Structure 1
Amino acid sequence: MNRLQFVVPVRLSRGPGHPIQEIEGVAEAIAFLREWPAGRRGPVFNCAMNCCLAAEAGQISTDDARRSFAGFIRISGMLVDERIGHYVVDHSHERPMRRSA
């Protein structure tokens, strides 16, 4: 196994009707991030890119780079849950629901 290959691929989909894509290592993650629209890049994108580049340079672990990349994919709403094959929907931007007593 290549030292820059993820132990578990990051599974993502751009939405319903789109195929599931597996990102299997740091090089694929960097290629994916480089194609991300410039206008949609922010701090989480920058963190993921910096972590992947640092892993490529041997400065951080591949596992840390995977965690950062998977976090970016999750926040972007594209992460497919490995356990059940469904999207992981991020509702953090929504107001919390009130719970009745």
Structure 2
Amino acid sequence: MDRLHFFTPVRIARGQGHPVEEVDSVAEAMVFLQKWPSGRRGPVYQCALNCCSAALSGRMSPEEARKAFTGFARITRLLDDDMAMPMGGESIAEVYALRR
């Protein structure tokens, strides 16, 4: 496996009538972010872009970049509904406890 691939792809849903896209690497996330409209590039976008850049240069792991990209997708409401909730029966409290 390429060191820049995500363990689990980030599923992007642009809305009804559009197929769900799977972003499965730092490079694909970077391409997605570079195509993002400049008028909609806020701090969450910048964080995801910085993390992907850091992963490409080896200063951050691909999974850390994936987390930032997933956060961007969630905030912009592009994250596929299947990814929006924790997997494996974890409660939302358990997920937030892992972030600390």
TM-score, structure 2 as length reference: 0.81
Q: Secondary structure at the match of 1:51?
A: helix
Hey, what's the Cα distance between the residues in 2 that align with 1:82 and 1:75?
Answer: 15
Q: Who is 1:97 aligned against?
A: none
- Greater Cα offset, 9-18 or 39-48: 9-18
Q: Secondary structure at the match of 1:8?
A: strand
Q: Who is 1:63 aligned against?
A: 63
* Percent of paired sites with the same residue: 54
Aligned positions of 1:67-78 closer than 5 A: 67-78=67-78
Q: What RMSD in Å do the two structures reach over aligned CA positions?
A: 1.1
**Structure number, greater radius of gyration:** 1
Aligned length: 84
Where structure 1 has 5 or more consecutive residues not aligned to the other structure, the ranges are 89-101
Aligned positions of 1:49-60 closer than 5 A: 49-60=49-60
Hey, what's the Cα distance between the residues in 2 that align with 1:11 and 1:28?
Answer: 12
Structure 1 segments of 4 or more deviating over 6 A? none
Q: Who is 1:98 aligned against?
A: none
Hey, what's the Cα distance between the residues in 1 that align with 2:45 and 2:66?
Answer: 13
Aligned positions of 1:15-34 closer than 5 A: 15-34=15-34
Q: Name whichever structure is richer in helix by fraction.
A: 2
Q: Secondary structure at the match of 2:7?
A: strand
Structure 1 position 4 matched with structure 2 position 4: yes
